[in-house]
Amino acid sequence: MRALLTLAIGALLSWQAQAAPKQPNILLIVADDLGYSDIQPFGGEIHTPSLQALADQGARLTNFYAGPTCSVTRSMLMSGVDSHQAGLGTMAEGMQPEQKGKPGYEGYLNFRVASIAELLGSAGYDTYMTGKWHLGGGQGQTPASRGFQQSFILVQGGASHVDLSEMFPGYAARYLDNGKPAQMPEQFFSSDLFTDRMLGYLKRGEGDGKPFFAYLAYTAPHWPLQAPDAYRDKYKGQYDKGYEAIRQARLTRMQALGLLAPGTTANVPMRAALPTWEELTPAQRQEQARTMEIYAAMVDNLDHNIGRVLDYLQRTGELDNTFILFMSDNGAEGTTPKGLEIADWVSANFDNRLQNMGRKGSYLTQGPQWGQVSATPNPYFKGFTARGGINVPAIVRYPKVVKPGAINTQLFHAMDLMPSVLELAGAQYPATFADRTLLPLQGRSMLSGLAAPHARQERELGWELYGRRSLRKGDWSIQMQAPPYGSGQWELYDLAQDPTAQHDLAARYPRKTRELAADWQRYAQDNGVVDAPVRYKYTYENCLYDHCVK
């Protein structure tokens, strides 16, 4: 009798284990400095079939917001908390004397927050990361100390994609393999290498019965622009028509896809301040076209590598049980070596002749005119709190919630990833973790919004970086940017009627302007924003050859 009872209990437990739904896997894919309209699902001409398939099987998120720069966004993705609280109130590289030592300005993901990997690891997940970290490289600050069981990372914000050469003077690439200095292969390309390592982690985890959280943080297409040999000439001649022709073609496709209303025009605030395509010399046009060819090649290769991961999930039967979020970390990059204050160093140390562009030993940046094209239809680009800096391309695939081919207009934010994955995992956000008190979660779960792609949502979100400010509240938006990039006063936009923010309504609606300005002040106070004078050129001096907006 006892033997029969034991057998019955064992069979019941086995049935319950099989019947219990498996926690979903989580795959976060982040591109670095990818523009809003660069990829096919968002109207781009760059060949990105893997991302197109992801969008066809999932949803394009047209109102997904990040921070204006990379580490700022990454701190919010990892924590679910505003960057001014999570430790990246500004980029560590741009920390000003007034901000040093202040809470939220530690320059790394601080210990008042827990990372997604820490919390999901506690919930029974395998946790993997490859790619760019940019959230601290000191003792206890790297992924190996912040919950990732396996990690292969670039510590800082950027590097050559093909070797260990410096991105800035004295800023040599630093790679870590599970927290220890990595042994790098003699030949590599960053996107290929990060994908290889992630696939290795996923394969080793097969059969352990655990779901995974995989964070694949590519450094493409961040400068310096470089591409593998097989891709470098794929787009030859495609950009010879220049900035305006490419921008208009993208606008036409975005309208045909239903991403923009018919008749929507692009907001190009720097148009009059920089040379047009026709005003460039023939040699300059050649250089500019080649630069964008290399950029497109990097994005194409990025898509190829994303496809490798999706193919793996399909082969292993895990694709439909994986919540996938693809996004860019901020708007397109518009800087040049002159704006980065390294023009002489680049000239002395790199070979940027036409035949070497995009190869090892070259150093290219996209520049402000192509940066504005990548941001189409939004104004400005990375480093700005205008939409071109913070409204990023994003795609979600998860068949249990998301209808295939949806265009989702809900207002989402990078902070929303943390509560979303905790809900999927059936886990709670704790008040304390590892004997430390955590800041309250600020993001919202995306799941209800993903199920209702066009539902009205009244939500308030604020931004600040480098003294630039903005706030969105429902369809209303205010921003303040110093001249020549703004009036230096609060500007008001009705994004329902003016989605590309071309018509300042502050004078017409002073009461609404004051309301939103007060909301921003409350946001700044609640999050500990520390003002500091601007003492640097990055994003404040944008140059195309000898013409500068500054």
Q: What percent of the chain has pLDDT over 70?
A: 96
- The question of whether 548 is a catalytic residue gets the answer no
Question: Is 70 in the active site?
Answer: yes
Cα 523 to Cα 512: distance, rounded to the nearest angstrom: 16
Q: Which two tokens stand for residue 425?
A: 């995992």
Structural domains in the chain? 23-451 (3.40.720.10)
Catalytic residue among 47, 84, 134, 161: 134
Q: In terms of DSSP bridges, do strands 175-177 and 542-544 run parallel, antiparallel, or are they unpaired? A: unpaired
Separation of alpha carbons 466 and 486, rounded Å:
14
User: In this structure, are residues 354 and 286 in contact, taking their beta carbons and an 8 Å threshold?
Assistant: yes
Rounded to the nearest 5 percent, the helix, strand and coil shares of the chain are 35, 15, 50
| Span 512-525, average pLDDT | 98
* Contact between 112 and 84 (Cβ < 8 Å): no
In angstroms, the Cα distances linking 205 to 200, 320, 418, 501 are 9, 18, 23, 47
Q: How far is CA 53 from CA 220, 259, 397, 486, in A?
A: 20, 17, 10, 39
Q: Are 255 and 264 in contact (CB under 8 A)?
A: yes
**Catalytic residue selected from 70, 161, 222, 413:** 70
Report pLDDT digits (tens) over 10-63. 443 443 334 446 899 999 999 999 999 999 999 999 999 999 999 999 999 999
The CA distance from 497 to 40, in Å, is 26
Q: Under 8 Å CB-to-CB from 286, ≥6 apart: which residues?
A: 354
User: CB–CB of 414/65 below 8 Å?
Assistant: yes
Q: Could you tell me if 510 and 517 are in contact, meaning their C-beta atoms sit under 8 angstroms apart?
A: no
Amino acid at 24: P
b/e sequence 208-219, b meaning 16+ C-beta within 10 Å: eeebbbbbbbbb
Distant-in-sequence contacts of 182-185, Cβ < 8 A, 24+ apart: 182/152
Q: What is the DSSP string of 273-297?
A: GS--TTTS-HHHHHHHHHHHHHHHH
The pLDDT tens digits for 349-370 are: 999 999 999 999 999 999 999 9
Residues 6+ positions from 241 with CB-CB distance below 8 Å: 277
Phi, psi of 273 (to 5 degrees): -90, -10
Q: What is the pLDDT of residue 7?
A: 42
Average pLDDT over residues 254-278: 96
Residue 3 has pLDDT above 50, yes or no: no
Task: Indicate the SS3 state at residue 498.
Answer: coil
User: pLDDT (tens digit, 9 = 90+) per residue, 309-350?
Assistant: 999 999 999 999 999 999 999 999 999 999 999 999 999 999
